[in-house]
């Protein structure tokens, strides 16, 4: 067995690299869908505003997609370098799921991304639209496989543990494991919600500064329609996901609730400082019966407590407890933002409501915070297991890799990803400040023949 510090370092490293990575797919899964919508609008109406909107947001898509690719490649190898025991034990189950992700999603995205970005003057408008659709579908397929793999680690089924590794009995059961449909829906909606808020925030920024209003208005309006539908839907799905977790991973829910004793009439803690050593909370501020009402829909409902299992089988409570509250708070802020937008639209001043635009602007990064918090709940809440109830995290780590090596690469990841994130934000801000290309369809700067043939007859001649 490796010393405990090598395990902690490997966990920190993986938590950091995968948390960094998930920021970018969260945006590209959602933005892929919005780009399909923008281009479809352009093709149907011929209104150039949608074309410009597409060209503006596709730049942000490309920048984020590139970050997702480079940070994703790291993960596909890090599973082996840092978690070699896990790879050997779970490889027969999770390997093919990841393999299918590469085959059906990564190649599709990569193959058509080039056409999406650089192909306007190389292929016709319909084919270009098809490329956009295929890239968007690729991001969704990618989410499907990787969430199937992740969900199997949360709620494993369909495989037997024989001779030191898993052997699959039923692929259908492996893929459609109990938590998968909930996680897939919850994460996909999280992506769209995060993207809608980003679009609302950046468009709100333009409206506040009276810049680029012609593209900011349709984007702002689209984003608020999406927000109005998705924010309540996400709260409903989150509740369903929580009930599913209660059934299959009761200790995760106990940590989310900060509930130490199995009991009825359990309160919901708005604030508490969980103390794992003392197996109790400090400074509780609670809604009586809240937890029982949410989880069992009855005050007398019995909810599980952490002390059902020995302390070494309990997840770290503080991280799970607080991440859950951060996610929840942001979810309800999104609901408020969506309702406010609907109210402004109803009163006819959606584009003039400065406070709404300011609210949208400050919320721009909130979706990412909520998504990360959600992942912290589900991943830290799974501890001390990598495969819930079957394989411990301590049994998953690479036994021969030294703590020094993991510590060194951890520091390097912190430095390199820190610098990278700074550069990403710098170029993102630069793109936003520059705004959309003011040129019309058919005027392509150095290449006047660009997108030649796109909607013949609709091409507006250069002025």
Subset of residues 15 to 74 that bind another protein, contact rule: CB under 8 A: 58-59, 62-63, 66-67, 69-74
Task: Give how many residues touch another protein by CB under 8 A.
Answer: 79
Q: Which is nearer to another protein, 102 or 311 (CB)?
A: 102
Please report, as residue ranges, which positions from 409 to 428 form the binding site for another protein (by CB under 8 A).
409, 412, 416, 420, 423, 427
Smallest gap from Cβ 304 to another protein, in A, equals 34
Smallest gap from Cβ 456 to another protein, in A, equals 20
Contact 207, 220 (CB under 8 A): yes
Using CB under 8 A, pick the residue from 9, 53, 115, 146 that binds another protein.
115
Using CB under 8 A, pick the residue from 111, 288, 422, 448 that binds another protein.
111
Smallest gap from Cβ 458 to another protein, in A, equals 20
How far are the Cα atoms of 211, 216, 362 from residue 354, in angstroms, in the given order?
14, 14, 12
Using CB under 8 A, pick the residue from 332, 430, 448, 462 that binds another protein.
430
Pick the piece of the chain touching another protein (CB under 8 A) from 207-215, 253-261, 275-283, 397-405: 397-405
Q: Which is nearer to another protein, 6 or 306 (CB)?
A: 6
Q: How far apart are CA 179 and CA 127, in angstroms?
A: 37
Using CB under 8 A, pick the residue from 4, 167, 270, 460 that binds another protein.
167
Query: Could you tell me which of 213, 216, 211 has the C-alpha nearest to residue 199?
Result: 216
Smallest gap from Cβ 321 to another protein, in A, equals 34
Contact 244, 179 (CB under 8 A): yes
Using CB under 8 A, pick the residue from 309, 431, 458, 459 that binds another protein.
431
Smallest gap from Cβ 414 to another protein, in A, equals 12
Strand partners, 303: 263
Q: Which is nearer to another protein, 175 or 251 (CB)?
A: 175
Using CB under 8 A, pick the residue from 29, 113, 230, 350 that binds another protein.
113
Pick the piece of the chain touching another protein (CB under 8 A) from 186-194, 268-276, 292-300, 405-413: 405-413
Using CB under 8 A, pick the residue from 15, 49, 123, 229 that binds another protein.
123
Contact between 440 and another protein by CB under 8 A: the answer reads no
Smallest gap from Cβ 158 to another protein, in A, equals 10
Smallest gap from Cβ 104 to another protein, in A, equals 6
Contact 428, 63 (CB under 8 A): yes
Contact between 165 and another protein by CB under 8 A: the answer reads yes
Contact between 407 and another protein by CB under 8 A: the answer reads no
Please report, as residue ranges, which positions from 67 to 106 form the binding site for another protein (by CB under 8 A).
67, 69-74, 76-81, 84-85, 87-88, 90-96, 98-104, 106
Q: Which is nearer to another protein, 83 or 322 (CB)?
A: 83
Smallest gap from Cβ 99 to another protein, in A, equals 4
């Amino acid at each position: 067995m490796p010393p405990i510090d090598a395990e902690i370092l490997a966990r920190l490293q993986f938590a950091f690299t995968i948390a960094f990575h998930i920021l970018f797919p969260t945006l590209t899964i959602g933005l892929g869908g919005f780009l399909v919508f923008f281009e479809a609008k352009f093709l149907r109406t011929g209104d150039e505003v949608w074309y410009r909107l597409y060209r503006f947001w596709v730049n942000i898509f490309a920048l984020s997609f590139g970050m997702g690719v480079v940070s994703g490649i790291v993960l596909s190898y890090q599973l082996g370098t840092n978690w070699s025991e896990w790879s050997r034990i779970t490889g027969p189950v999770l390997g093919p799921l990841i393999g299918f992700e590469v085959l059906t999603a990564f190649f599709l995205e990569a193959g058509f991304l080039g056409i999406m970005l650089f192909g306007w003057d190389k292929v016709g408008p319909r084919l270009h639209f098809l490329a956009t659709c295929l890239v968007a579908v690729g991001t969704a397929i990618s989410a499907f496989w990787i969430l199937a793999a992740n969900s199997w680690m949360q709620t494993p089924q369909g495989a037997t543990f024989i001779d030191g590794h898993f052997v699959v009995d039923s692929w259908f059961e492996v893929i459609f494991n109990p938590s998968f449909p909930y996680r897939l829906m919850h994460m996909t909606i999280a992506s769209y919600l995060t993207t809608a808020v980003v679009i609302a925030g950046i468009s709100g920024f333009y409206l506040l500064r009276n810049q680029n209003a012609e593209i900011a208005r349709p984007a702002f309006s689209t984003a608020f329609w999406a927000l109005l539908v998705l924010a309540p839907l996400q709260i409903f799905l989150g509740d369903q996901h929580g009930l599913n977790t209660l059934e299959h991973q009761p200790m995760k829910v106990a940590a989310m609730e900060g509930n130490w004793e199995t009991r009825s009439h359990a309160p919901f803690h708005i604030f508490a400082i969980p103390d794992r050593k003392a197996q109790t909370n400090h400074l509780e501020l609670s809604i009586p019966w809240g937890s029982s009402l949410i989880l069992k829909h009855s005050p007398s409902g019995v909810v599980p407590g952490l002390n059902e299992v020995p302390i070494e089988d309990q997840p770290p409570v503080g991280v799970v407890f607080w991440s859950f509250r951060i996610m929840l708070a942001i979810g309800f802020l999104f609901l408020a933002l969506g309702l406010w937008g609907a109210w402004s639209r109803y009163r006819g001043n959606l584009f003039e409501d400065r406070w709404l635009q300011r609210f949208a602007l400050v919320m721009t990064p909130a979706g990412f915070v909520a998504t990360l918090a959600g992942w912290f709940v589900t991943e830290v809440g799974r501890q001390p297991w990598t495969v819930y109830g079957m394989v411990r995290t301590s049994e998953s780590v690479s036994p021969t890799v030294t703590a020094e090596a993991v510590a060194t690469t951890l520091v390097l990841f912190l430095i390199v990803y820190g610098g990278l994130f700074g550069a990403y934000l710098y170029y993102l801000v630069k793109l936003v400040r520059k705004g959309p290309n003011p040129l019309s369809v058919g005027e392509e700067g150095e290449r006047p023949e660009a997108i030649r043939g796109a909607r013949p007859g609709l091409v507006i001649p250069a002025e």
